[in-house]
Amino acid sequence: MSYNIPDNLKGLSAAEVNASRAKYGWNQLSDNHKNTWFELLVDILKEPMLILLIIISMIYVFVGNYGEAVFMFVAIVAVTAISFYQDNRSKKALEELEKLNEPLSTVIRDGKVSEIPTHEIVVGDLCITEEGRIINADGRILHSNDFSVNESSLTGESFSVFKDSKSEDNLVYGGTVTVSGLAVFEVTEIGKETRVGKIGESIKNIKEEISPLQVQIQKFVKAMAIVGILIFLIVCVYSFIDSGNLVASLLNGLTLAMSVLPEEIPVAFTTFMALGAWKLMREGIIIKRSSIVETLGSTTVICTDKTGTITENSMQLKYLYNYATDSSYDQERFEKSDLRELIDYAMWSSEPVPFDPMEITLHKIYEKTQNQDLRKEYALFHEYPLDGKPPMMTHLFENTGKDRIIAAKGAPEAILSVSKLPDSEKDKIRAIVKSYGEQGFRLLGVGKAKFEGNNFPAKQQDFEFQFLGLTVFYDPPKKGIQEVFQDIYDAGIKVKVITGDNADTTKAIAAQGGIRILTPPINGSEIVNRSEAEIMAIAEQTTLFTRMFPDAKLAVVNALKKKGEVVAMLGDGVNDGPALKAAHIGVAMGNKGTEIAKSAAALIITNDDLQKLIIGIAAGRRIYANIKKAVQYIISIHIPIILTVSLPLFLGWVFPQIFSPVHVIFLELVMGPTCSIVYENEPIEKDTMKRPPRAMSDTFLSINELGISIVQGLIITIGILFVYQFTVQQGGTEEKTRAMVFTTLIFANILLSYANRSFHYSILESFKNRNLLLVGISIAVLLFLVVILYVAPVAQFFAVAALSGYELGIALSVATASVLWFEVYKLIGRIVRAKKV
């Protein structure tokens, strides 16, 4: 892009950049400290499970059971390695997301304009800022073009301040927002030395708010930790009174405490969210904080812009209406001399360096149709930025001979309202506007004015404008957009279109795009003066919101939230910032989005494709469902471990210490990877995007879901205790009984991990969704079991006896029965649901 910057502004050389960075450092507010592998390791060693393992291993060393102590130390290494692997994967995923979330800054170096990551700005750099961009360092203005800045982030005053190199205050500050125009400034302060950096030091310790799901998981884990402590104390006291053996009592208590702790749950949550965000990043969806993935799946309403989201944002100029001749002209007749003034003023009312697609088109039409290009002869010396309800903008140009051009464009209603036309003529033009709008065309009115002197009106509406005509653009709906909206509706999500365009155009394009329109459009001015209850009713019932401005957008988003909706708001402009910030999920467009919009949003779609949001919602639903599967698996499999350890002890059975810490830690090593690695990799179920979104107010596990998990665990327990008593009745030794119970529990564990892949579809149906990690871990666990049972030294260490084929068959049969009854339950559920449909 050309910025028309003076030739004398060359910027720093590469050597000067390096020298400045060596002296002043990087442009970042914090030290950007990253956890080293050692710090990750220290954090892992603070986990309750590892602390218990260390205590148990020390007890074994103390009593001289060195074999068990060595195994415990090996287990410590294994658990640490698994935790380190999971934490490191999450850490790397979040670091990659952090890099993508960093804004770029435009600088001049070695006489060339380029974009660099903001943290690479150095003192002495020449930075370019323009409308809609955040200033990323403090500096002094060297060159500007109708530049104004909003400094409310520092001063609290929300009005814009015009500045230039000759102003008494010619400084700009990091964190402030460019409202209009363009400026080149020399960086004087970076990082912590900027004004916002000094303010930021006082708030850097504020912690990020955690999500509702995180709160529920933390409460559950804390409750189970308390239960574990109580059980430890009860078992220790009971066992000591019964046996008088303090060491054995401690080991019994610690074994049961280990079986109660669900330490896999927070690890699984962190892993699922971080890797989910990382996978979305690879799809072109940048998520600023990983916990937003949880909210994505709950989206109930999508509020979308029209231009560039539903449409291609191509802005093809199809017709020109010239008021002087009262005629419309198609593209083939744009070179008619009758149209030169209209095209002239349409171009002059655009930015000198256009960014908006319509303004780019107007510049191109000017180049093709005008005999003499006057753009280099006239300089923009005053500007009224886009404002008003409906909006318009005005530019004042002047050449060296003091000849002036005052040009305005905006919504046809806005230009008509400031033009001195009879009401009958205005009505005629409104009829033309309506006719074009109903066909899906987007129109701009164009006007011109004259003014002597420099005492310009405070408002552009105070000029006396002459109405010149209309520019008629067509921005066609994107290919495949109807299918996208059908997918959204199939997922039970409502759609609202919130746009600055007029009602007729919006309604036509929305209909062409496949949006279901059940009520008439509402415009922004009809919203803001209503009561809160009225706005809530309008927001819920209305699909199309037109001529919307920031306060109206914010009012609609807040009203939908109060109605209990989970709102995803799509926006790209400076004026979308408040609504993006207020929505549960603010979504900015990566290509056409301003830096303000990207800063306010929680999620950025890099290619402006609405289909990506559907992918994000599907990912959110998949991840949430998989976390539930992992947690239900953990609950179900912990119950038989807890009861198998405790019941023989409390009921005084012949072999009270059927499991030692060695057996429990092996089971923990099986469960950890299964829940936090295997289930994270579980594909989405085929009808997930045909179900309605879950309510944010729902508890993580419903009473029914929790009940199913408990019943699954109890039935597995019944099966295992049956095997225990069966083996004892057959005259089995303690080693044989332990081997049968342990093997049955391992088989049940593996089968449960397959059965719980879906709580709706059969286990055979779930095999169609390949999960090679699950297969790999299952095979590895079975191989370990073979080693434990049939390699004599290992069997002796685990205090088990080898099992015959008949005994293995008994264990497998009982495990299958105690797990796969759930398939009958799922079948009945499918039949009942099918009858309801």
Output the 3-class SS for 350-419: CCCCCCCHHHHHHHHHHHHHCCCCCCCCCEEEEEEEEECCCCEEEEEEECCCCCEEEEEEECHHHHHHCE
pTM attached to this predicted model? 0.75
The 8-class DSSP code of residue 477 comes to B
Q: How many CB atoms lie under 10 A from the CB of residue 330?
A: 10
Please report the pLDDT score of residue 389 as a whole number.
Answer: 82
Which pLDDT score is estimated for 30?
Answer: 64
Check whether the bond before 390 is cis (ω within 30° of 0): yes
Q: Return the pLDDT at 252.
A: 73
Residue 474 to residues 132, 278, 319, 502, Cα–Cα distance (Å) = 25, 37, 9, 14
Q: Which residues of the chain, if any, have pLDDT below 70? A: 1-4, 30-53, 56, 60, 62-69, 71-72, 75-76, 78-80, 82-102, 152-153, 155-159, 199-212, 214, 259, 261-264, 267, 574, 594, 671-676, 837
pLDDT of residue 413: 94
The predicted pLDDT at position 597 comes to 76
Q: What pLDDT sits at residue 568?
A: 94
CA–CA distance, 337 with 55 (Å, rounded to integer): 93
- Tell me the helices (H) and strands (E) count for the chain, helix number first: 28, 22
Residue 413 to residues 137, 359, 441: CA-CA distances in angstroms? 40, 19, 15
Q: Is residue 14 helix, strand or coil?
A: helix
Domains, the chain, with CATH or none: 1-206 (2.70.150.10), 263-274+621-836 (1.20.1110.10), 285-311+478-606 (3.40.50.1000), 316-474 (3.40.1110.10)
Residues 328, 333, 339: CA angle, nearest 5 degrees: 65
What pLDDT score was predicted for residue 92? 64
- Residue recorded with tokens 């090996």: 74
Amino acid at 180: S
Closest by CA position to 547, among listed 502, 496, 577, 495? 502
Percent of the chain at pLDDT > 70 equals 87
